[in-house]
Structure 1
Amino acid sequence: MNYGEFSGKTGARKALFSASAIAISLALVAPAQAEEADSSEAAQNAATQSASNSGQFQDIIVTARRRAERAQDTPLSVSAISGEEVAKLNITRLEGLEQMAPSLRVSTASGSANSPAIFIRGIGTITTALYAEPAVGVYIDGIYSPRGAVNTFDLPDVANIEVLRGPQGTLFGRNTTGGAIVLTTKAPTDDPGAQMRFSYGTDNEIVASAVLQSGKIGGSPFALKVSGQIHSRDGWVETPGYDKSKWGGALDAYSFGAALVGDLAPNLTFDGRVRYNHVASYSGWEPIGGSANGIAYFGLGESLGGPPFKIGGGADDLTYRDPRADGGRAVAKSWVASGTLTWDISEALTLKSITGGIWLDQAFNANIGGGYTLGAVVNPYVPGQLEYVSPHTTTANPGRGRQFTQELQALGDLGDFNYVVGLYYFRERTNEGYTTIIDFPLAPTYAIRLDTDKGFEILSKSYAAYGQLGWKPSFADGNLEITAGLRYTKDDKTLDSWNVSSSTSTTTTTQTSKDSWDNLGWSTSISYKVAPDVLLYGRASSAYRSGGYNGPTVGAPPFGPEKATTYEVGFKSDLADRHIRLNGSFFQTNYDDLQVNAYNSIILSNAITNAAKARYRGFELEAALRYAGFELDGNVGYVDPKYKDYVYLVSGVPTDVSSVAKFAYVSKWTYRIGAQYGFDAGDAGTFTVRADYSVKSSPPGYSVPAATPNYLQIATLGRDENLSARLMWRGTIGGASVNAQVFGENLTDKRALTFASDFSSIVSGVYSRPRRYGVSFGIDF
């Protein structure tokens, strides 16, 4: 019996090979060897190579305080990850950054494999619905990107990534109560060149990318860079009736980008960038528990002639998908464009204008109940009649976002003082629709069917003004710095929503709302260099996350802003002639009106509420050693959260659940250790062997047990472990730099839940990817 539409390989796979051939051809016709570029980026690359050759730690330039400075001189917790490290560990997406920074977790978001949910120091939101505001801000080449579906992209030409841990209340002030991730791609170079990468691995996973540099165009002051990447793989969660290219975990993605940089006039530069990304993916939801009625009802389906509905047993990697959900296909298409004007008037004044736009179109479909089968329903009751049933199927979830941002900055140095001031404007219109089918068992042999068609449109406008002043007194020889900053933010939002529900009757409801919130945030820090390469610092700041609406839930009141105040002390040090690097911090963050996303069994959906007060306390440590060809590095993060007050509606009654409430998706411990050894084989090139082991302790799966009747069946999501190893080679062929790698990920084949949800009758979830291997090859001209 065929339980789903059987489909062969998609046309995207054929296009992938064609595009790979084109990319390789273009790379081969580029000049064989480019001269060293006379730019700040080239100078940094040269310094990096020199430091690497000597076994010393190199400087990474960051913009965590909106000005270029050494990461080791920045008095806040920031993990600076170079493009070289990203390539070395074969990191292709944001999810791969987890192991690179302490207290960072990137999970599969609710409903879609297309949208990563980011947590820093335990703060984030698991939903990436277009009505939700994130707690971790993502900035791509200076543009704030709040939507997870936009941030699901590959990283073919990264210059560096900054993970800013903890509230960023002044300079990165919009929705950064957890922190921020600042991603910078490589700029066009003055000289022509090309870069090509290709990898192949388990599940027919292919990643192919090319970056072409034009150099100065026709003697003009402008240089152009174009890049493209294709990423495709089969799934690993078997879905009978479907080809492997549509199994759970399958992916077909492609992206391309361009950057144009040049001088419009003396001291006036233009930097324009554009990127398009197209991602199609399939989630592999599996049933893992349920209520007595749910287990009995859906378990009966196979005996009635329907597909099997296996419940529990861990990562079985098997699911029967509801064909009404278009095979569970989730598609996101996005454009990100930015234009930056920089006018270096003098050392005392630089003016910047940063303009950005984001266009997002998505269509998500999912059988998030974990399967479907045959069963009897009672609305209406027809003796002997069966129909296909599912705990929760989303047959359609279209969404659209249109965003515009404008930021003006002025910064400079005035004697012992440095400053940054700015104005910021954000406008976004989002709309999203949901068509769902839920079969809720009333007894072991029959259920009631609920069909819902709902949606919303939200218009958000945000205005902000900020400034930060730093003082490095001359009497301290530049070793002492004191900073203070303020940021005022005003948010205006309007909502239009609708809901059409059908069970025994049809009900239509609508809602229109308009709300405003504002906030005055602040930050201050003091740092002192007790030695040339040893920095001590203390920092205090506030942060604010905008209020909003539970978009498709008609009648729900708005939730208010989330506010955070953090206190942190830390140190940064390069020791033993920069062969040892040791950075650490201790922090406490107090949250008011913490926004928590929890499943509401009354509306059968997730809802965001304000959880009054919470306290997060912890520490982080990053350490590394380099000597000759040997390197040892690692990090550890610990966070201990506690609710001080949490009032939640339990069976319609306001109840203080602070003593029993959990912090969903918060791993108390995160740590990683890695080691590598490299040696020079002369004309044969250099060889490096590396191994990494990372762990995230098992986090709770839900916030309020009373709201999730089957909570205890998956009280925690499981310990997330990854042991990886790789053998790398780098050499020169015909004047071109060539590298190759053989790698393995999750070598111990540990599986943990990345996301789970309780639909009252059935608990279902998505497991992490199993063991995998691959090879990669790269060439730089």
Structure 2
Amino acid sequence: MLAHLPLILLAQGAAAAPPPEPAQAAQPGQRASDPTQQTVDGNGDIVVTARRRAETEQTVPIAISVIGGRTLTDTGAFSVSRLQQQAPSLQFYSSNPRNSAINIRGLGAPFGLTNDGIEQGVGFYIDGVYIGRVGAATFDFVDVERIEVLRGPQGTLYGKNTTSGALNITTRAPSFSPEAQGELSIGNYDFVQAKASVSGPITDKLAIRLSSSATRRNGTIDNVASGTDLHRLRNLGFRGQVLYKPTDGLSLTLAGDFNVQKPLCCAQFYARVGATQRPVARQYNALAAAFGYAPPSLDPFDRVTDLDARINSRQEIGGASLVANWDLGPATLTSVSAWRYWDWQPANDRDFIGLPITTVSQNPSQQRQFSQEFRLASNGTNRLDYTVGAFLFNQTINTQGSQVQGAAASRFLLSGADAANPNVLNGLTSTNTISFDNTSFAVFGKLNWAVTDRLHIAPGLRVNYDRKSGFYESVVSIANSQYSFVATADNVAALLAANPAGSAARTTFQNQINTLAPQRYSPRFSAWNVSGDVTLSYDFARDIHGYASYAKSFKSGGINLSGLPLNSTSTGVDLTTQTVKPEKVDAFELGLKTQFLDRRVTLNLAAFWTEIGDYQATVNNNAINVIRGYLANAGKVRSRGFEFDSSFRPSKRLSLYVNGAYTDAKYVRFTNAPCPPELSGGTATAPGGVTDPAGTAGGRSPAFCDISGQRLPGISKWSLSFGGEVNKPVGSSGGQVYLGYDGSYRSRFSSNPSPSAYTWIDGYSLSNFRAGYRKGDFNVFAWVRNAFDQDYFELLSTQSGSTGLIVGQPADPRTFGATISRKF
């Protein structure tokens, strides 16, 4: 429904070269076997597999964006982080690959740092294989044919993790005709990107495809402390596929991929300072002055920092899959078997400045997953089509976390006499061992009943079982000239008893274990859940299709694996917070897909209303020791709005498009939310007690805040994408010159779980231009992205401890270069 027509017609239809070779026409209800090689049917319509069968995009009753491989090249969208400029309803946030979130219509994953024990709400699939963690989906796209962005709950066919939508990526399949293609891009910041693929037959029944991609770019942030550039790109990816077709009705595709990335990212640094409830002497400006410290620049868009801790974001991603499609005549049996892994090796500067507050903060992780799916789909011979199946998934994650405090930590994090003694926290170390195991099983079914030639009813049902178990242990130690101990969950009481109550030694020890608390717990969760949906669609005319849908969906419950808040004794953890209840989702949608003037004009509309009970949100209860926060169930959230997608192609020489989304997403009820920074850091008061106005130095802070009615983080009310392309023939050889433009706009959004006056990110617009020459399978063009050098933040965060420092992650500045590609 979305950007596919404006974008793919822009990239393909406007060309003077012949259109893509027509594939076998695929209408709703046609055969489900081996659809991945179909992109355009005999009528020139885009073919998708959003409902696990080949259908034309304009007739499938789902709000969907389709972004073709050529569009990805034209716009430089070579990873998921760059897709949101093409799909207005899509949001992507990342402070590093592990701490990434993909949201659709403002819903999907809680805003904040990653917790291994929770689910995402947007499913990510590549060639039918589910990717269990967003971090494992941040690889460069290699030889992608199309990306389908499915908006709204997709739980019946795509599972429990798709309460707000799914990204369905299809790569180019092996070909029995020899072919090859190459692409090379160069640009400023020493940007070089090379892509290549080759495919062809080995025998008349066996074909192979090999693809690779390599990206290198210098960083856009200068770290004056280390003399290195940050936010650089060092990416390498390979993908191989072997297709075996012993008969016309049977195909088996064995695929494997390997990706490695070695960037120095993702740096957040000084953006601004806001007043908190801390005493003036304990707020950022006074603390920095006490050390004689100043950042290298007070303008974050000078893009200089002095981070003094090691920075790294190395990750390795790979796996293998076997997809089998067997045409049985009345139905097609599909099997998808896959194993995948993700190894994450980070290093961060969690104090965000050039002082030794937190000198080490990292959570290396190793994820392994296995999945098996079976589907039986009818081949469209009757008025009643069906898809039934079963899905099995197992995932394990092992994480080895560590955090070390430096010589400046005491003054920044403590009060009283201990704040003036660097040794109280200098060298304080937390070593964490975290493990997670998740087994999930589901059976599902989807019907499509053609009541008449125009009216279709499509109900679906999925029954899912989840079992999750985990282990979290934090051992805290210190060894400097003044203090030495090792604290575990078992010996904290003994260590406290060794220090007399009310003594300075006891106060110091409590300050130390409250800063980094020793913990050990083993959470467990299991539950059955039922989700379902029903869609009514009606074909008013050949090119006018309407639909209405309702979905009852859920996102699985989870376990907290980032540390828990302390209980009232300040020596143990609150075990009531170790599990999180499932989200309960009710979603309504109305849609209309239309084309006019011999399909030169496309206008698609969708209106949606989604309510989520027991919404999973990140909280921290103002606890210093829980650096990463933990999950809890907010009362209820709501996301509602409308989307439109339009394209106009008056001639072969001109293509235009405008796509947009209005999203009103709020906390309907969240009475125990974490407070924004301007209300934190003061003297704690009991619930309902007297507090002081925001930003009152030395004031009283509420234990928690009621943010009911306020906007969810990360969501712009308005998001737009727009652009077009004009071309002109050159000579009589079929070549053409062209000029293209792609723009996007996002209105302002909150970058804090609880809206704060200090963390709103202003609205911004981006403009990308390209101009080039193409003839047949040859294309060369120059490009400039963020052409007007718009300064904007990808996200804003707060420094731990309510100091008032706000740090930001600036987006890329203007980049420019050229791309040349050729198919053989």
Shift of 1:684: 7.3
Question: Partners in 1 of 2:460 and 2:304 — Cα distance?
Answer: 53
Question: Partners in 2 of 1:259 and 1:337 — Cα distance?
Answer: 10
Residue of structure 1 equivalent to 2:499: none
Which residue type is aligned with residue 756 of structure 1?
L
Shift of 1:350: 0.9
Question: Partners in 1 of 2:583 and 2:328 — Cα distance?
Answer: 39
Residue of structure 1 equivalent to 2:369: 403
Shift of 1:408: 0.6
Question: Partners in 2 of 1:689 and 1:193 — Cα distance?
Answer: 28
Shift of 1:318: 1.2
| Correspondence for 2:767 among 709, 720, 723 | 723
1:240-292 CA distance string (max 9 Å, x none): 1445xx42211211010101112144522101111111011222211223555
Kept in 2, the 8 Å contact 1:394–1:434? The answer is no
Kept in 2, the 8 Å contact 1:752–1:767? The answer is yes
1:604-663 CA distance string (max 9 Å, x none): 322222112112110000000012211110211011123222132666748671436541
Q: Are positions 1:615 and 2:638 aligned together?
A: yes
Shift of 1:156: 3.2
Which residue type is aligned with residue 228 of structure 1?
S
Question: Partners in 2 of 1:636 and 1:106 — Cα distance?
Answer: 17
Residue of structure 1 equivalent to 2:331: 349
Q: Label 1:46 to 1:618 Cα distance change in 2 as closer, same or farther (>3 A).
A: closer
| Correspondence for 2:321 among 332, 335, 338 | 338
Residue of structure 2 equivalent to 1:295: 284
The number of residue pairs the alignment matches comes to: 697
Q: What is the DSSP-based 3-state SS (H/G/I as helix, E as strand, rest coil) of the residue aligned with 1:170?
A: helix
Equivalent runs, 1:102-181 vs 2, <5 Å: 102-107=88-93, 109-110=94-95, 112-113=96-97, 116-125=100-109, 126=111, 127-181=113-167
Q: What is the DSSP-based 3-state SS (H/G/I as helix, E as strand, rest coil) of the residue aligned with 1:648?
A: coil
Question: Partners in 1 of 2:115 and 2:434 — Cα distance?
Answer: 11
Q: Label 1:129 to 1:614 Cα distance change in 2 as closer, same or farther (>3 A).
A: closer
Question: Partners in 1 of 2:165 and 2:143 — Cα distance?
Answer: 24
Q: Are positions 1:771 and 2:757 aligned together?
A: no
Shift of 1:172: 0.9
Kept in 1, the 8 Å contact 2:185–2:192? The answer is yes
Residue of structure 1 equivalent to 2:667: 643
| Structure 2 residue runs without a partner (length 5+) | 1-19, 26-34, 479-507, 565-572, 675-683, 688-702
Q: Are positions 1:496 and 2:462 aligned together?
A: no
Q: What is the DSSP-based 3-state SS (H/G/I as helix, E as strand, rest coil) of the residue aligned with 2:757?
A: helix
Residue of structure 1 equivalent to 2:723: 674
Which residue type is aligned with residue 795 of structure 2?
F
Question: Partners in 1 of 2:40 and 2:705 — Cα distance?
Answer: 58
Q: Label 1:560 to 1:731 Cα distance change in 2 as closer, same or farther (>3 A).
A: same
Question: Partners in 2 of 1:596 and 1:201 — Cα distance?
Answer: 41
Q: What is the DSSP-based 3-state SS (H/G/I as helix, E as strand, rest coil) of the residue aligned with 1:703?
A: coil
Which residue type is aligned with residue 256 of structure 1?
F
Q: Are positions 1:739 and 2:779 aligned together?
A: yes
Q: What is the DSSP-based 3-state SS (H/G/I as helix, E as strand, rest coil) of the residue aligned with 1:132?
A: coil
Residue of structure 2 equivalent to 1:519: 529
Q: What is the DSSP-based 3-state SS (H/G/I as helix, E as strand, rest coil) of the residue aligned with 2:147?
A: strand
Q: Label 1:320 to 1:351 Cα distance change in 2 as closer, same or farther (>3 A).
A: same
Equivalent runs, 1:361-380 vs 2, <5 Å: 361-373=343-355
Residue of structure 2 equivalent to 1:227: 211
Residue of structure 2 equivalent to 1:16: none
Question: Partners in 2 of 1:496 and 1:85 — Cα distance?
Answer: 44
Q: Are positions 1:315 and 2:282 aligned together?
A: no
1:483-525 CA distance string (max 9 Å, x none): 1010011100111111123574465321012210221101000
Shift of 1:398: 0.9
Kept in 2, the 8 Å contact 1:98–1:105? The answer is yes
Question: Partners in 1 of 2:601 and 2:23 — Cα distance?
Answer: 30
Shift of 1:700: 0.8
Shift of 1:553: 0.7
Q: Label 1:247 to 1:368 Cα distance change in 2 as closer, same or farther (>3 A).
A: farther
Question: Partners in 2 of 1:114 and 1:209 — Cα distance?
Answer: 25
Question: Partners in 2 of 1:664 and 1:593 — Cα distance?
Answer: 17
| Correspondence for 1:430 among 369, 376, 397 | 397
Q: Label 1:584 to 1:161 Cα distance change in 2 as closer, same or farther (>3 A).
A: same
Equivalent runs, 1:571-720 vs 2, <5 Å: 571-602=592-623, 603-628=626-651, 629-648=653-672, 653=687, 657-659=706-708, 661-682=710-731, 683=733, 685-704=735-754, 711-714=756-759, 716-720=760-764
| Correspondence for 1:216 among 192, 201, 205 | 201
Residue of structure 2 equivalent to 1:329: 312
Shift of 1:198: 0.7
Q: Label 1:621 to 1:117 Cα distance change in 2 as closer, same or farther (>3 A).
A: same
Question: Partners in 2 of 1:46 and 1:667 — Cα distance?
Answer: 34
Q: What is the DSSP-based 3-state SS (H/G/I as helix, E as strand, rest coil) of the residue aligned with 2:532?
A: strand
Tell me how large the CA RMSD over aligned residues is. 2.5
Q: Which structure features the higher share of strand residues?
A: 1
Kept in 1, the 8 Å contact 2:174–2:207? The answer is yes
Shift of 1:316: 3.1
Residue of structure 2 equivalent to 1:532: 542
| Correspondence for 1:416 among 379, 383, 386 | 383
Q: Label 1:142 to 1:361 Cα distance change in 2 as closer, same or farther (>3 A).
A: same
Residue of structure 2 equivalent to 1:543: 553
Q: What TM-score results when the alignment is normalised by the length of structure 2?
A: 0.80
Residue of structure 2 equivalent to 1:456: 434
Q: Label 1:492 to 1:332 Cα distance change in 2 as closer, same or farther (>3 A).
A: same
Question: Partners in 2 of 1:441 and 1:115 — Cα distance?
Answer: 24
Shift of 1:566: 0.6
Shift of 1:47: 5.8
Q: What is the DSSP-based 3-state SS (H/G/I as helix, E as strand, rest coil) of the residue aligned with 1:315?
A: helix
Q: Are positions 1:780 and 2:766 aligned together?
A: no
Q: What is the DSSP-based 3-state SS (H/G/I as helix, E as strand, rest coil) of the residue aligned with 1:269?
A: strand
1:734-778 CA distance string (max 9 Å, x none): xxx221111111112222221222222233221111111111111
Q: Label 1:46 to 1:546 Cα distance change in 2 as closer, same or farther (>3 A).
A: closer
Q: Label 1:529 to 1:396 Cα distance change in 2 as closer, same or farther (>3 A).
A: same
Q: What is the DSSP-based 3-state SS (H/G/I as helix, E as strand, rest coil) of the residue aligned with 2:559?
A: coil
1:285-329 CA distance string (max 9 Å, x none): 1122355524235523763xx7x4357534331111224x3xx01
| Correspondence for 1:567 among 573, 577, 588 | 588
Question: Partners in 2 of 1:202 and 1:129 — Cα distance?
Answer: 37
Q: Label 1:569 to 1:747 Cα distance change in 2 as closer, same or farther (>3 A).
A: same
Residue of structure 1 equivalent to 2:486: none
| Correspondence for 2:455 among 480, 489, 500 | 480
Kept in 2, the 8 Å contact 1:757–1:765? The answer is yes
Which residue type is aligned with residue 407 of structure 1?
E
Which residue type is aligned with residue 235 of structure 1?
G
| Correspondence for 2:232 among 250, 267, 280 | 250
Which residue type is aligned with residue 648 of structure 1?
N
Q: What is the DSSP-based 3-state SS (H/G/I as helix, E as strand, rest coil) of the residue aligned with 2:76?
A: coil
Residue of structure 2 equivalent to 1:7: none
Q: What TM-score results when the alignment is normalised by the length of structure 1?
A: 0.85
Question: Partners in 2 of 1:523 and 1:104 — Cα distance?
Answer: 22
1:342-365 CA distance string (max 9 Å, x none): 11011x211111111111111111
Residue of structure 2 equivalent to 1:383: none
Bigger CA drift: 513-522 or 599-608?
Answer: 599-608
Kept in 1, the 8 Å contact 2:592–2:604? The answer is yes
- Percentage identity across aligned positions? 27
Residue of structure 1 equivalent to 2:484: none
Shift of 1:42: 11
Q: What is the DSSP-based 3-state SS (H/G/I as helix, E as strand, rest coil) of the residue aligned with 1:72?
A: coil
Residue of structure 1 equivalent to 2:696: none
Kept in 2, the 8 Å contact 1:167–1:179? The answer is yes
Residue of structure 2 equivalent to 1:469: 447
Question: Partners in 1 of 2:207 and 2:230 — Cα distance?
Answer: 42
